[in-house]
A and B are shown apart, each in its own frame.
Chain A
């Protein structure tokens, strides 16, 4: 009888203990739940295709983002003279002793970082010229004008021939001389100076 009672008492203790622990966990969980973020806050609006098209002007090396249109070297020469030469010089080359407001674009003497010896992808040319040039009227060039400028610059840098047309299909295929030189920084910290 006494033994049974002891057993019951110990059972009660165990069950009671479990209940208390359970309560604590439940309370803790419910507190955590209040701290949890909602699945969604619901702020902001869904962007329409029109919203995206208005601003989505980037171009990737694989050609993703390049628009329709085309350009050629001869047209590029005229556009360059009218809209770029004021800052980059008549032929896009470095002029000894003259500090141009824009960097040289065409390989001349020396080791200046030009399109011909430093830019790894031709698509970057289209992307940058269209978004940021000419400096005083950025974003004012038509897609055809930008393709033509790319053609002229690539031809001046002896990367494409004078009769090559630049468009969404040909531009990503242009192989830039500097591309093989580029390596991704693999440093992760640590004592080594690299």
Chain B
């Protein structure tokens, strides 16, 4: 016993030393943003030669290198993913975009209950423990806010233009599994999903999505879902507009009609010519070049153009990249696996000769839909187009000095 105790004590000593080291390291470094998510260190150098001094020991929770600091960009109602700082398609959980309607609620998982009632044989409530006992499913897919489009000025980052999309590996129970448990009336056509936040946010969802691929998820990227993402459980409707993926889900009512809640009438609807379009659920195919993009600069020579493409209606089939302002298009390489309703990484090798040009990307999904230009969208929907469900091709201007800026296209 004594022998077993000794190493424990030794570790405790090491922890305090490590904490001190870690603390010294953190205060010594002030990260300053440079190009393409590189961070240079100013002030006192951390360790002049890391091969001559042992570093901090293993810890309970990992940290990012102090030389890397990708951050979300918050406003009063949302917080955007720094897509230009990511290297592939999984968004680190703490960088997943947020959109709140009344802040992040604090929910005790031991008190949590999900109530399902309405047109069912037996109304039921499930604890978090109950939900976790059901057969589980894991899938990777994106969530994108329906209002994910900004334009207006040259100095805009990918994050500012469309940072309201992120991707995670989600784990939970299929909604159909729960619905079978309750015995849903075959005449039911809709269900209402309600959150347990201060807005008690509600959306009406066609019941076909429940039988198709809807899930109630309690885990994200292998760990419990983050509070900002709906802890302890949220609705996941792969490919459907972010707002319908109700977070902090506490109630589902099964019905034979939609409820026309505020979120599906006053919000998340948009003018199309002289009408107002409602219940647009699927997110249309979209892509963006994340490198090079503002505020990065490039050098002459070989450049690998990189970016993400996705479709709420299925798989990405093709991404094309133009390096001469849309005159010619080249097929980009797609990174496997190409998953349904998921961000797909693309790459295209390009030799830049130093002349001024525009680079842009466009995606085609498996339904045959090709990402439109802003002009095509305006022609189809009218000038009073609104901000929802906008997925235009986005162009970056490459200046002679290597600076890359956004090409704003004002539509109002």
Q: Do A and B bind each other?
A: yes
B102 sits at the interface (CB 8 A): yes
Question: In the complex the two chains form, is B124's CB within 8 Å of A193's CB?
Answer: no
Instruction: Tell me whether B276 and A190 are in contact (CB under 8 A).
Output: no
* B130 interface neighbour in A37, A44, A52, Cβ under 8 Å: A44
- Asked whether any CB of chain B lies closer than 8 Å to the CB of A174, the reply is no
Task: Tell me whether B276 and A118 are in contact (CB under 8 A).
Answer: yes
Partner of A131, one of B116, B199, B380: B199
Per the bound structure, the CA–CA distance linking A59 and B265 in Å amounts to: 14
- Closest B residue by C-beta to A103: B266
Residue interface bits A42-62, CB-to-B below 8 A is 1, else 0: 011111000110011111111
Chain B 240-270, CB-CB to A under 8 Å as 1, else 0, gives: 0000000000110101010111100110010
Is B343 among interface residues, defined by CB-CB distance under 8 A?
no
Q: A44-B124, A47-B124 are in contact. Are A184 and B117 (CB under 8 A)?
A: no
Q: How far is the CA of A40 from the CA of B262 in the complex (A)?
A: 36
Proximity string of chain A (65-105) to chain B, C-beta cutoff 8 Å, 1 when within and 0 when not: 00000000000000000000000000000000000000000
Residues of the A chain whose Cβ atoms lie less than 8 Å from the Cβ of B116 = 47
Report A180-194 CB contacts with B as 1/0, cut-off 8 Å.
011111011111111
Min CB gap A4→B, angstroms: 57
A118-B266, A190-B367 are contacts. A185–B259 as well, Cβ < 8 Å?
A: no
User: In the assembled complex, which residues on chain B have CB atoms less than 8 Å from the CB atom of A183?
Assistant: 272, 275-278
In the bound complex, CA of A192 to CA of B201 (Å): 33
Tell me if B333 is interfacial: C-beta within 8 Å of chain A.
Answer: no
* A152 surroundings in chain B (CB, below 8 A): none
CB-nearest residue of chain B relative to A184?
A: B279
Contact of A52 with B123 at beta-carbon distance under 8 Å, contacts A119-B266, A131-B202 already known? yes
Interface residues of B in 272-287 (CB under 8 A from A): 272, 274-282
Determine the chain A residues whose CB is within 8 A of the CB of B262 once the complex forms.
124, 127-128, 132
B306 CB within 8 Å of chain A: no
Query: Interface range on chain B: under 10, 10 to 19, 20 to 34, or 35 or more?
Result: 35 or more
User: Are A138 and B260 closer than 8 Å at their CB atoms?
Assistant: no
Smallest distance from the beta carbon of B29 to chain A beta carbons, Å? 38
A111 lies within 8 A of chain B by Cβ = yes
In-complex Cβ contact of A189 among B133, B134, B192, B368 (8 A): B368
Chain A interface mostly: loop
| A-facing residues in B177-226 (Cβ within 8 Å) | 181, 192, 194, 198-202
Give every chain A residue within 8 A of B161 (Cβ-Cβ). Answer: none
Q: Does B330 contact A (CB under 8 A)?
A: no
Docked complex: B56-104 residues within 8 A CB-CB of A: 101-102
Q: Does B238 contact A (CB under 8 A)?
A: no
Task: Determine which of A55, A185, A189 lies in contact with B277 in the assembled complex, contact meaning CB atoms within 8 Å.
Answer: A185
A45-B124 CB under 8 A given contacts A58-B259, A190-B367, A191-B369: yes
A51 contacts which chain B residues (CB < 8 A)?
115, 123, 125
The smallest beta-carbon distance between B385 and chain A, in angstroms, is 12
Q: Does A26 contact B (CB under 8 A)?
A: no
Residues of chain A contacted by B368 (CB below 8 angstroms): 189-191
Given the interface contacts A121-B260, A183-B275, A183-B278, does A132 sit within 8 Å of B265 by beta carbon? no
Apart from A47-B117, A58-B194, list 4 A-B contacts with CB within 8 A: A47-B123, A55-B250, A113-B266, A192-B369
